[in-house]
Amino acid sequence: MKITDLKCAIIASSPVIRMTTDEGITGWSQIETPKPYLQPMVLQLRDWLIGQDPRDVERVVRRIRVRGGFKPFGSAVSAIEHALWDIAGKAAGIPVYRLLGGKVRDQVRTYRTLYQAEVPGGADHTPAGYRRWADYGKSLDGGFRMFKLPTAFHSSMVQDFPNFFYGDVQRDAPFPYPHKGVMTKEGMDHLVACITAARETLGEGYNTAVDAGPGFMPLDVLRLAKAVEHLHLLWIEDTVTGDYSPYVNHDLYKDITFNTTTPIHTGEQIYLRQNYKHLIESHAVNVIGPDPCDVGGLGEMKWIAEHADLHGIAIAPHGTANGILGLAALIQVSAALPDNFIAFEYPARFEPFWYDITEGFDGFPVKDGMIDVPDRPGMGVVMNPKAARKHLTDGDSGFFD
């Protein structure tokens, strides 16, 4: 079997990959949305793939792995790796999880990041607003039992609360998380009050993680972590570095993790196992969160999860904007992860019409916070060209030809 073509189209701001073969088997995958600017990065890898056997996933990925980097520049390599697994599974007539070592679990647990903007009435970074956030989360379809709360430097709180930190508020920066600095006492007290309100309103049977940065100074992270120890949070995420940071700062995380019982989490921006090695082996955090659409693919994630398990570190894969094809990939790899798996982040940020232009999910798949692992070959979800054509952007009209 040989790869004959690689195409990438933009559908609703999300780059979708179509890999074709000389035996008529097609591999599908998707890059985190909204990242339309990565389409050229996918296409410039095409010539390195044509003529290769897609079933030799590792051999093919080794040809392009050097072209990736920390988020968002590992996405092209990662998504191509997903398409290779999709083809390999279909060629063998088995789901991808069997190629990754087989199922550890028949259902995978998923958690929901709930953005304040989703809550009726919009963002309200006050204790009352966070109580509404929790009530709304409990009303969502799917019966989610775990939620992630974007707050502090990972939200508009840093702009909405006067004197939140000793730094300049930037409202038009060209990068995602421009704010960093030492927090004021008033800012810290307000943040703790908001997190407490959300956690207590969720009540028994629920839990929450807190996505708070990057932007914190390490001492403020420790103050926050110790102030909420009694809340038994799932974790506090990406405080010092993290989302879109092109580095990790393992030593700073270690200083925090060793001095609090609140679990500390990072890792969604990291590309490749080698860049996880020191983070894991130094026990710098309690929970890691690689994203299969950024870390280099499913093979990388499996290796990283096993290595973390050997060191007593939990894994909660990131995936908030990975789309419906990314959801399929998360289900497959999460089914095969070791017992340090907590839950993966449900890709909630895609339009309902994706269920109509793909085949594989019989509607919304989450029930009581769990998803049944499907047995369909490959990733288990494919595009429906006839239904999807109307969503193609200008210049991509030949994507399904």
Q: Where are the beta strands (DSSP E) in 173-294?
A: 182-183, 207-211, 236-237, 264-266, 287-288
Taking the C-alpha atoms of residue 4 and residue 20, their distance in angstroms, rounded to an integer, is 6
Percent of the chain at pLDDT exceeding 70: 100
- Return the half-sphere exposure (C-beta side, CA atoms, 13 A cut-off) of residue 50: 9
Q: How far are the Cα atoms of 12, 338, 389 from residue 35, in angstroms, in the given order?
A: 10, 31, 20
Q: Where are the beta strands (DSSP E) in 93-215?
A: 107-113, 146-150, 165-166, 182-183, 207-211
Backbone φ, ψ for residue 383 (5° rounding): -75, 150
Please check the confidence at residue 174 and state whether its pLDDT lies above 90. Answer: no
- Evaluate whether residue 87 is within a structural domain: yes
Provide the whole-model pTM: 0.97
Taking the C-alpha atoms of residue 399 and residue 11, their distance in angstroms, rounded to an integer, is 11
Compute the average pLDDT of residues 348-368.
94
- 260 and 158 in a common domain: yes
- Evaluate whether residue 297 is within a structural domain: yes
Residues 6+ apart with CB under 8 A from 120: 132, 136
- Report DSSP state, residue 38: G
Compute the average pLDDT of residues 140-164.
97
What per-residue confidence (pLDDT) applies to 271? Answer: 98
Q: In the predicted model, what is the mean pLDDT of the chain?
A: 97
Asked whether 50 and 6 are in contact (CB, 8 A), the reply is yes
Taking the C-alpha atoms of residue 54 and residue 75, their distance in angstroms, rounded to an integer, is 18
Q: What does the radius of gyration of the chain's CA atoms come to, in whole angstroms?
A: 21
Compute the average pLDDT of residues 307-316.
98
- Evaluate whether residue 183 is within a structural domain: yes
Residues 6+ apart with CB under 8 A from 280: 288, 304, 307, 308, 311, 313
Per-residue model confidence as pLDDT tens digits over 259-285: 999 999 999 999 999 999 999 999 999
At residue 164 the predicted structure's pLDDT band, cuts being 50, 70 and 90, is very high
* Total domains in the fold of the chain: 2
Residues 6+ apart with CB under 8 A from 21: 1, 2, 3, 4, 27, 54, 87
Taking the C-alpha atoms of residue 269 and residue 289, their distance in angstroms, rounded to an integer, is 9
- 84 and 132 in a common domain: no
Compute the average pLDDT of residues 375-394.
96
At residue 394 the predicted structure's pLDDT band, cuts being 50, 70 and 90, is confident
CATH number at residue 18: 3.30.390.10
Taking the C-alpha atoms of residue 335 and residue 352, their distance in angstroms, rounded to an integer, is 25
> Which token pair is 21?
């073969």
- 298 and 334 in a common domain: yes
- 56 and 8 in a common domain: yes
> Which token pair is 247?
């580095």
Per-residue model confidence as pLDDT tens digits over 203-214: 999 999 999 999
- Evaluate whether residue 400 is within a structural domain: no
Per-residue model confidence as pLDDT tens digits over 58-95: 999 999 999 999 999 999 999 999 999 999 999 999 99
What per-residue confidence (pLDDT) applies to 33? Answer: 87
Cis, bond preceding 34 (omega within 30 deg of 0):
yes
> Domain range holding 119?
99-377
- Evaluate whether residue 291 is within a structural domain: yes
**3-class secondary structure, 378:** strand
Asked whether 267 and 285 are in contact (CB, 8 A), the reply is yes
- 109 and 82 in a common domain: no
> Which token pair is 178?
């421009």
- 202 and 106 in a common domain: yes
Taking the C-alpha atoms of residue 277 and residue 279, their distance in angstroms, rounded to an integer, is 6
> Which token pair is 24?
């008529």
What per-residue confidence (pLDDT) applies to 15? Answer: 97
Per-residue model confidence as pLDDT tens digits over 1-28: 999 999 999 999 999 999 999 999 999 9
Taking the C-alpha atoms of residue 125 and residue 130, their distance in angstroms, rounded to an integer, is 7
- 120 and 20 in a common domain: no
What per-residue confidence (pLDDT) applies to 349? Answer: 83
Please check the confidence at residue 123 and state whether its pLDDT lies above 90. Answer: no
